Amino acid sequence: MSRQTLTFRQHSSEPAKVARLHQENGQSHEDQLGPEDVHIRFLAAPINPQDLMVVAGKYPVQPEHRHAGEPIPGYDGVARIERVGSAVSVLAPGNHVVPRAHGLGTWRSHATVPAPSLLRVSATLDPIAASLLKMGCGPAYLLLNSGARELRPGDWVVLNAATGVIAQMTIQFAKLRGCHTISVIRDRDDVDSARQQLRALGADTVVTESELAAPGAVASLAEGKRIKLALDAVFGESGERLAALLSPGATYVNYGSLGGAVGASIPLTQELLFWKQITFKNFRLSQALSQYSEPEQEDLLGYFADLFEKGSLQTPAVDRVAWEAGPRLEEVVLQALDDASGQSKRCVGARKKVFHFS
């Protein structure tokens, strides 16, 4: 058996400089199954911002698994079960599974892990879509439930970093609820293509950051709309413009800081706090999911998968990175990490990269 595992030697904000790939053939002690273990083969695993924070040492949950004494990164993905231990009854070979919690280490071709650390998902779902169920669909769905009041048909949601996976899914979930979206994207050369892509997903209005920053743009865009929820993945000036669009009694939610500026802030004006009575809050996926029991989490992922398979949701546009065993694999993987790290620093809303295992 050929297996490949990515590890990192030390913490760094430049993951490609501290990561290395281990390629091995033949049997390994890692193939040995305990009674409650399962052996899995990964099918797809995204490079999420949280993963880059883990490698940088800036994320509270560190990897649970190691190879050659070094931690294995990657917290999301989908795998197929190859073998199960003698005491495993709820999973079987051929089942597709995703990590139940952070720390599993998905940037590897194979793994032997405890069965309770996995959640079963549909085996007929496209692996790219399946790899995004928890940390792509999950935040999008739950963010729409984070307002001071429940969203109602006809309400509007404004969001930035709109070409990112979470935003793409939010647009689609909002549409399913009868709500409208204002999608804010960074200024770019392919702005027309980005607008077309988001409108195809259901976005009602797509504007660039510079268009929204123009004099009078906020008042003009907000006129006649019940903008009840702002979802900010950038913070700073971009988040400030989202807050300014909100209607009275609305909610602003921050769930990221892709802008990256140290010391960035959003001014809390009297208009926002007193006259509009805007609710400001943050969002953390782990905290939101803690309100769901394990069966409820499984049902939630199953609901997402069903929507994909019915065609009610479209798989977000991503950059697929071919994970194919061979002499060039380390170069390909490290380049993907370098690109993803650079994008996270330079390009808000850049396409997510997903390892696609063959």
Enumerate the active-site residues: 59
Q: How open is the CA angle 116-51-302, to the nearest 5 degrees? A: 45
* Beta-sheet strand order (sheet of 180-185): 205-208, 180-185, 156-159, 227-232, 251-254, 279-282
Q: Do 189 and 210 meet the contact criterion of CB atoms below 8 Å apart? A: no
DSSP 203-234: -SEEEEHHHHHSTTHHHHHHTT--EEEEEESS
State residue 338 phi and psi, 5-degree precision: -65, -45
The tokens for 336 are: 């993907």
Check if the beta carbon of residue 63 is closer than 8 Å to that of residue 9. no
Closest CA to 233 of 194, 267, 286, 186: 186
Q: Provide the pairing of β-strand 227-232 with 251-254.
A: parallel
CB-count burial class (<10 Å; 0-12, 13-18, 19+) for 317? middle
Residue 295: both structure tokens together? 């069966």
Number of neighbours of residue 254 by Cβ within 10 angstroms: 19
Amino acid symbol at 135: M
Largest CA distance in the chain: 68
- C-beta separation of 301 from 119 below 8 A: yes
Distance of alpha carbon 267 from alpha carbon 237, whole angstroms = 9
Residue labelled with tokens 């004494």: 69
Residues 240, 246, 249, 255, CA torsion sign = negative
Q: Does residue 47 contact residue 336 with C-beta atoms inside 8 Å?
A: yes
CA distances in angstroms from 332 to 7, 52, 355, listed in the order given: 15, 17, 10
